[in-house]
Amino acid sequence: MPTGRRSRLHKVFVTRDLPGDGLRRLRDEAGVDLWPGGMPPPRAALLEGVRDADGLLCLLTDTVDAALLDHAQRLRVVSTMAAGYDNIDVGAATAHNVLVTNTPGVLTETTADLTFALLLAAARRLPESERAIRDGRWTTWSPAFLLGRDIHGATLGIVGLGEIGQAVARRARGFGMRILYTSRTPKPEVERKLGCSPVTFDELLAQSDFVTVHVPLTPQTRHMFDAKAFDRMKQTAIFVNTSRGAVVVEADLQRALASESIAAAAIDVAETEPVAKDDPLLRLSNLLVTPHIGSASVATRARMADMAVDNLLAALDGRQPPNCVNPQVWAARPMSSDGSTA
């Protein structure tokens, strides 16, 4: 039920249909304008959608920038159904007093599962093996056919030991791997608990058999995997990325794979998504690529949608959203004379 503070039915623009029953709950509480179909709204439709909206529920495919915020005079909250929010100019939102919320935590284990699936698949050359059978190239058991790399006993380098990095480390322990990590902040307790050793970025690149990335995309992490980084990696190394495509200079990754200066890569993300059918990356047999499905399990996507709706409704209802990335907007909100929020 709408609370007393909701003086009119708030208007919310939702940029895609959502899994689970979050949208039904949202419709009970707000006037929902849902962008139809399976593709993101084009820019003009997004601008039109937010023009007189109080809330925006968006996905990582929607760009929320200063121009959009200028245009959305009534907007109070942008709720993204994702942990990463690099598609949103949070500084501009803060300047416009617009709350930005995300869905961290619920996708941690699911994303770590996919990271490990990619690592295992690349190490044991599963896509090539499958193609070999379908192409009729499985003629006999052969001592040197499709040899891959062992995971047990190998060294895993985790770049970014946040929640997802730690969940990957837990899996790696079960596989008997040695674990190195780099992180913005030292994590001595996690180190002890998960048996991870801190190293410099260069040491991690030089020593790891597998390098996996779990950093948010920021100006500091953008393009951190460039030609220099790939050159430092072992020739037998496998690179895994389930974070954001733009942490990698894709042309440099392509060169490293084509020249076999690293053995293979498995990526769930690309700088430009979707990857075009004729992208040169797709010609590489030592690259495994999936279409940004890190959090794509039935249960997790429903939880993310629920969380995005909860964040949005809290903000519209004048309650502090549970997952706010710019809490200074909340702290600075105007108070009415009875001490409640406007």
Query: Is residue 250 annotated as part of the catalytic site, yes or no?
Result: no
Buried b (16+ CB within 10 A) or exposed e, 256-284: bbeeeebbbbbbbbbbeeebeeeeebeeb
- CB of 64 within 8 A of CB of 42? no
For position 83 contacting ligand GLV by CB under 6 A, the verdict is: yes
Instruction: Establish whether the linkage from the previous residue to 274 is cis, with ω within 30° of 0.
Output: yes
Residue 84 C-beta: closest distance to ligand GLV, Å:
3
Closest approach, Cβ 318 to ligand GLV, in A, equals: 27
Q: Which stretch binds ligand GLV (CB under 6 A): 80-88, 134-142, 198-206, 280-288?
A: 80-88
Out of 10, 96, 292, 301, the active site residue is: 292
**Contact letters for ligand GLV, residues 97-136 (x by CB under 6 A):** ----------x-----------------------------
Residue 214 CB, nearest approach to ligand GLV (Å): 11
From the CA atom positions of the chain, what is the Rg in Å?
Answer: 22
Of the two residues 88 and 204, which places its CB atom closer to ligand GLV in the complex?
A: 88
Judged by CB under 6 A, the number of residues near ligand GLV is 7
Nearest-angstrom CA–CA distance, 233 and 213: 14
The nearer residue to ligand GLV, 49 or 245, going by C-beta atoms, is 245
Binding residue for ligand GLV, selected from 19, 22, 55, 84, defined by CB under 6 A:
84
- 244 counts as catalytic: yes
Out of 57, 82, 100, 179, point to the residue binding ligand GLV (CB under 6 A): 82
144: amino acid identity, one letter: A
240 lies in the site for ligand GLV, by CB under 6 A = no
What is the rounded CA–CA span in Å between residue 93 and residue 328?
11
Q: At what angle do helices 126-134 and 108-123 cross, to 10 degrees?
A: 60
Smaller CB distance to ligand GLV: residue 167 or 263?
167
Whether residue 223 lies in the annotated active site: no
Asked if residue 295 binds ligand GLV (CB under 6 A), the reply is yes
Quick one: 88 or 329, whose CB is closer to ligand GLV? 88
* DSSP percent split of the chain into helix, strand, coil, nearest 5: 35, 15, 50
Please select the residue that binds ligand GLV; options are 87, 294, 315, 326, rule is CB under 6 A: 294
Q: Kindly give, in sequence order, each residue whose CB lies less than 8 Å from that of residue 83, ignoring residues fewer than 6 positions away.
A: 102, 103, 104, 105, 107, 295
| DSSP-assigned letters across all residues of 125-179 | THHHHHHHHHTT---S--TTTT-----TT-EEEEE--SHHHHHHHHHHHHTT-EE
Site residues (CB under 6 A) for ligand GLV? 60, 82-84, 107, 294-295
Point out the residues that are catalytic. 244, 273, 292
